[in-house]
Amino acid sequence: MDTTTPPLEAPTDVGRPLPSFSARLSTTLSDFPWWVLIVSAAGLLLIIQFVTDETYNEVIRFIAVGIRLTITVTLSAYSIAIVLGLVTALGQLSQNVIARNAAVLYVQVVRGIPILVQIFIWALVLVPLGIDVLNNLGNSLAGLGLLQTENFLTALSVRDIGFIMRGIIALSLSYGAFSSEIFRAGIQSIERGQVEAADSLGLTRFQSLRLIILPQA
């Protein structure tokens, strides 16, 4: 066996002159992210323009109001939609024929209508129609002597339910249908053996949902 160490090769750049200052400066300038500087300068100019111009200040105030309204409507609608979706998902999986068919009908109908159309329907058709129905119900109950002539049902007006509330109602019902399918798929993905194990332990249906099924769904 040859145990001799092969000779080391001499570096090829030995004696090579260092790049000049101008060459190093040119390389540095070419590698500098100039786009960051340009974007920063443009952003600074826009901020100065927004701060100093009264027209832009008015625009910013309108945008801020819109952002707050969007956040309010979104949080309200999604909070209601989550609860509605869970209840509807349980209804679709219920053994009760009426509850199951009602939940399936709601999900299938709502999912088949575009959200924008639903907003217009609720805002311009269903809410005014519902107010008229409640007014007529109040008049009927007053005619039977069950309520006073001037009662809370007859006092309701279309203006009492603003368009923001109508939008929240429409979005809640729309996203509730989609959330229902998500919850239903998650619940059905749980293995049947876990449900049977919960039954063997003597857990009620509600306890099985709360402790085993829903945390995994």
2 pLDDT tier (thresholds 50, 70, 90): low
Ordered DSSP codes for 93-134: T-S-HHHHHHHHHHHHHHHTS-HHHHHHHIIIIIHHHHHHHH
Encoded tokens for 148? 């006073």
Average pLDDT over residues 5-22: 59
Encoded tokens for 156? 């309701």
For the stretch 123-160, pLDDT in tens is 888 888 988 888 888 888 887 777 777 777 777 788 88
pLDDT for residue 17: 62
Compute CA distances 87 → 103, 122, 178, 180, whole Å: 9, 21, 12, 8
Domain 82-216: CATH superfamily is: MetI-like (1.10.3720.10)
Find where tokens 């939940």 sit.
103
- Taking the CA atoms of residue 116, residue 75, residue 86 and residue 213 in that order, the dihedral angle to the nearest 10 degrees is 140
For the stretch 32-77, pLDDT in tens is 777 788 888 888 888 887 778 788 788 888 888 999 999 999 999 9
Encoded tokens for 78? 């999604």
For the stretch 93-114, pLDDT in tens is 888 899 999 999 999 999 889 9
pLDDT for residue 50: 75
What is d(CA 91, CA 62) in angstroms, rounded to the nearest whole number?
43
- The answer to whether residues 90 and 179 touch, using CB atoms and an 8 Å cutoff, is no
